[in-house]
Amino acid sequence: MTLLRLSGSSISDIDQLTQMGDVPAIIRLLGDKDPTIQWHAAEALGTFGSTATPLLIEALHSTHGTIRLGAIEALSTIKDVRAVEPLIRVLQKDTMSEVRWAAALALGEIGSPEAIPALVRLLRDGNRYIRFGCAEALLKLDWRPADETDRIYQLIALQDWDSVRARGSAATVPLMAIFRDNDPATRSVIVSIMGEIGDTHSMTACPTALRDRDPSVRWKAVLASLNCGVSSNRLPLMLAGRERTGPNPLAAALLNFLFLGIGYNYLGKWWGFPVFMSYMSVIVLAQLAVGPFLPYLIAYPVTAVLAVHTYYMVQRMPDSQ
């Protein structure tokens, strides 16, 4: 058992632990708050070679994301094929996108063909970082797409949009599949390419994009709409069907009913909090004078009227396009 103090550790501590061969202690340092310590600990673990593989595989189950990331980095340096199956499970199931991304890259560094099927499947993942990591790993594994569809998914994952655009109608189905990506910039590029292609699938994509939750994606859809077969006079009606992203009128009304002023603060009104402080001061002074309940009985009819005012105030607020 090491006598070194693991909190507030330094790089010299890592060097000493490396000389002692204390792999478990260095793995714990992967969870240090200092990123520099994390990086040096991961580098040190990579120098142990395959003797550290079992403990590093065990570290993939840690609840600390930085420990999992550091273990993956070390495994990618060691290149022990025993890590392939555990890394595939991490790639498929981990809750942190950064950890899944690192696992994909590590599989490419290890170089085992066993990882190819899982990497190919995740070229269709809804996260652009995971797709990119898998595509990079497949390049290192010298993978060749089995058909044009796989090739297009690879190009999308690599963000090679010019090559995707050059595929024409063959790219529209993969593009629609990736349109669920959480990144609005990716969705914006996709809808622009779909508008340029302008085939039957694009005519379905543009109306979907017009209802997107992100205003930049909706604007790209407006610009692409004519090539998608959507007439300009239909655009306002189609945009009106989108999900509203502004303040919730019921939430604002309820806040003002219970805590007068907070509802206005929720709407971005600077004077909402001073109103709340004044309201609470009056309530507290009234409670000291007449008891705890009567002030609220008097106040609630007033705040109810203001809650109704708040509700209709939100309804009249312009929604961002």
| CATH number assigned to the domain comprising residue 189 | 1.25.10.10
Q: Can you tell me whether residue 66 is helix, strand or coil?
A: helix
On the question of pLDDT at 274 being above 80, the answer is yes
CA distance 316 to 321: 15
Range of the domain at 23: 11-156
Same domain flag for 202 and 271: no
Please report the pLDDT score of residue 15 as a whole number: 85
Place of tokens 């990716």: 186
Contact 212, 224 (CB under 8 A): no
Query: 208 or 53, which is more confident?
Result: 53
On the question of pLDDT at 239 being above 70, the answer is no
Contact 79, 110 (CB under 8 A): yes
Same domain flag for 144 and 201: no
Side-chain-side CA neighbours of 26 within 13 Å: the count stands at: 29
CA distance 212 to 209: 5
Same domain flag for 144 and 23: yes
Q: Which of 103, 130, 156 is the last residue of a domain?
A: 156
Q: List alpha helices for the chain, DSSP H.
A: 11-20, 23-29, 35-46, 53-59, 65-78, 84-93, 97-110, 116-121, 128-140, 148-157, 161-166, 172-178, 184-197, 200-210, 215-224, 235-240, 249-258, 262-266, 272-290, 294-316
In a domain, 321, yes or no: no
Same domain flag for 139 and 28: yes
CA distance 265 to 252: 9
Please report the pLDDT score of residue 218 as a whole number: 83
Q: Which of 19-28, 193-202, 302-311 has the lowest mean pLDDT?
A: 193-202
Q: Which of 125, 156, 187 is the last residue of a domain?
A: 156
Q: What is the mean pLDDT of residues 75-94?
A: 96
Q: Which of 156, 178, 212 is the last residue of a domain?
A: 156
Contact 104, 137 (CB under 8 A): yes
Please report the pLDDT score of residue 150 as a whole number: 95
On the question of pLDDT at 226 being above 90, the answer is no
Q: Which of 12-16, 48-52, 290-294 has the lowest mean pLDDT?
A: 12-16
Please report the pLDDT score of residue 149 as a whole number: 94
Same domain flag for 145 and 184: no
Same domain flag for 106 and 233: no
Q: Which of 260, 257, 211, 268 is nearest to 237 (CA)?
A: 211
In a domain, 6, yes or no: no
Same domain flag for 211 and 279: no
In a domain, 210, yes or no: yes
Contact 78, 52 (CB under 8 A): yes
CA distance 248 to 241: 17
Answer whether 0.85 is exceeded by the pTM.
no
User: How many domains would you assign to the chain?
Assistant: 3
Same domain flag for 22 and 133: yes
Same domain flag for 131 and 21: yes
Contact 28, 56 (CB under 8 A): no
Please report the pLDDT score of residue 5 as a whole number: 41
Contact 115, 84 (CB under 8 A): yes
Same domain flag for 152 and 33: yes
Please report the pLDDT score of residue 107 as a whole number: 97
CA distance 14 to 26: 7
